Structure 1
Amino acid sequence: MTQIITVGNGKGGVTKTTTAVNLSYELSKKGKRTLIIDFDGQGDTTKFYLEDETPHYLGDVLLDRKFDINQAIYPAIVNGEEQENLFIIPARFDDAMTKLDMDLFSAPKREERLKLQLKKISKPFDFIIIDTQPGTSVLGLNAINAATRFIFPTDYSEHSIDGIEKLLTHIQDVLFIEEDEIDYTILPVKIDNRKKRKNEYGVSYTGERWPDKVAKSKIMDRSVFDDAEREHLPLSVFNKGHVAARYYSNLASEIIND
């Protein structure tokens, strides 16, 4: 059965795209057929995995009932090489995603279109990763309705943790369910061992609030992530020998074995 994982947080700047890009790559390298869908208005995930603009994008999938979703699925390209197990449904840049959200606003079944279209994929995936942006857009509603599981990256700041609380409430309202019916994982990110007070707060809050939901994997704050992102490369491709290259590989193993 395909796991559809939406990566989100109600606040920005918590490595959602970093997590979506690196997790999807590591899952694919472990032999899992993986699709990443770029819902972000900046199209950052698309910049990682495609070199040129494609004929089709997410908007075609969501706006046209008769559109064949398989035509919008492209092999990811990393370092100029087409990947065997990693694919992408790309976003568009500039104002295209904002316009897409507006076009969907009055459309029938506007919140369920991705979920319905994913059922039409001809060759099933093991994992589908959805990279979202903060906010309560129609695109965001599609990402929530399609998901079978959520990953919430958060640093240990009150601001970021509050983003999870608000997003969890939003998901409950959208799906009309209780929190204990949601399958989700809290992923600590940007952890800096020098910031002891912040870490004490974050570890205490997440441990008490979500004792069974916090990932064993932790993503430490390393400048090499910024370096890799500037080159639009997964970290384990940019610097395979760096200690941080293991972070998302470990998370991928945790997700597979969970």
Structure 2
Amino acid sequence: MKTISVINLKGGVGKTTTATSLAELLAEGDKKRKRPGSRVLLFDNDKQGNASKLFGVYDREHEAQACRILKTGRIAGNITDTQEPNMDIIPCNYFMELAELDLKADQEHAQHERYKAALDEVAGHYDYCIIDNPPDLGMNVINALVATDEIIIPVYLDAYSLDGLEELVEQINQIRALNPKARLSGVLIADYEKTDTSEEAEAWLRNRSGFPVFVQKIRHSKKVKDATIYGQTPCHYNIRSGAAQDYKKFVAEYVGLYGHQAAGERR
């Protein structure tokens, strides 16, 4: 099983849309490219629970499964069916704040390997685990990065996102002391609108930042925001939209670069 963390320290840059679209498209497969669907586990690691809401499994009244995993390091009984073929989910909610406090209070056991231990239990059942992370580096995110094989960073082409990107990569490099195998698969340009400024920012990102950048960009589309209102990913809401088509091409690019190591190979 390959574990992929979608992360950025800045909020509102398309992390959840990217994570859920990636999970959904990997699970569906691609008939045109003769790629069969993969078994996918979507891990909602954000207390806002937007990925959980998207698939209709959000529960505001009770401790969510992701919170229990952080506290116990066990995954049994904490996986929920999404009703999407080939895809399950681990839901999250605001109880994550309490779970992090409990984790910090536990001085007898390792605090940063809870997710890794839990995901190791189901490594043979899935091809991919996609983790949707919040815009911070709390203990739940550190646990996610310790369990991660690859990292995808969605960004908008503005100064705040690009400044945060450098800080995030620096933090990731520090965490690699706990997980040397984790690598940055690439930066994904999201919500792209062609302007002189955005073209300059893209040129800097691709040619001077030193970070790997996916060729495919995700175009700005009103349909992305509309899709969240109806509780759907862009591809399910309107497959003809520019953003939906771009996400399909992005997943094809990802699979072409890295996915062959996981597709159909379960450890």
Shorter chain as normaliser: what TM range?
Answer: 0.7 to 0.9
Indicate conservation of the 8 Å contact 2:149/2:181, yes or no.
no
Identity score, percent: 26
Which consecutive segments of 4 or more residues in structure 1 shift more than 4 A? 177-181
In structure 2, the residue matched to 1:91 is 92
1:245 pairs with 2:244: yes
Distance in structure 2 (CA, Å) of the matches to 1:170 and 1:190: 25
Cross-structure match for 2:77:
71
Q: Are 2:70 and 1:62 equivalent residues in the alignment?
A: yes
- Tell me the equivalent position of 2:159: 158
Gaps of 5+ in 1: 77-81
What SS does the aligned partner of 1:147 have? coil
Query: Which range is displaced more, 199-208 or 82-91?
Result: 199-208
Q: Does 1:229 align with 2:228?
A: yes
Corresponding position of 1:11:
10
Q: Deviation of residue 106 (structure 1)?
A: 3.0
Q: What is the deviation of 1:241?
A: 2.6
Q: 1:118 — aligned with what?
A: 119
* Separation (CA, whole Å) in 2 of partners of 1:177 and 1:205: 30
Instruction: Assess if the C-alpha contact under 8 Å between 1:172 and 1:178 holds in 2.
Output: no
Structure 1 pair 246–211 and aligned structure 2 pair: CA distance change class (3 A): farther
Q: What is the aligned residue count?
A: 246
Cα gap change, 1:178 to 1:24, in 2 (>3 Å): closer
Q: Which amino acid in the other structure matches residue 60 of structure 1?
A: R
Structure 1 residues 237 and 183, CA gap change in structure 2 (3 angstroms): same
**TM value normalised by structure 1:** 0.88
**Distance in 2 of aligned mates of 1:90 and 1:8:** 17
Note closer, same or farther for the CA distance 1:114–1:191 as it changes in structure 2 (3 Å cut): same
> What residue in structure 2 maps to residue 196 of structure 1?
196
- Scaled by the length of structure 2, the TM-score of the pair is 0.85
Cα deviation 1:81-119 (Å, max 9, x = unaligned): x22211100002xx3111112111233211111011111
Residue 32 (str. 1) matches residue 31 (str. 2): no
RMSD value, Cα: 2.3
Shift of 1:247: 1.4
Q: Residue 89 of structure 2: SS of its match in structure 1?
A: strand
Unaligned runs of 5+ in 2: 30-36, 258-267
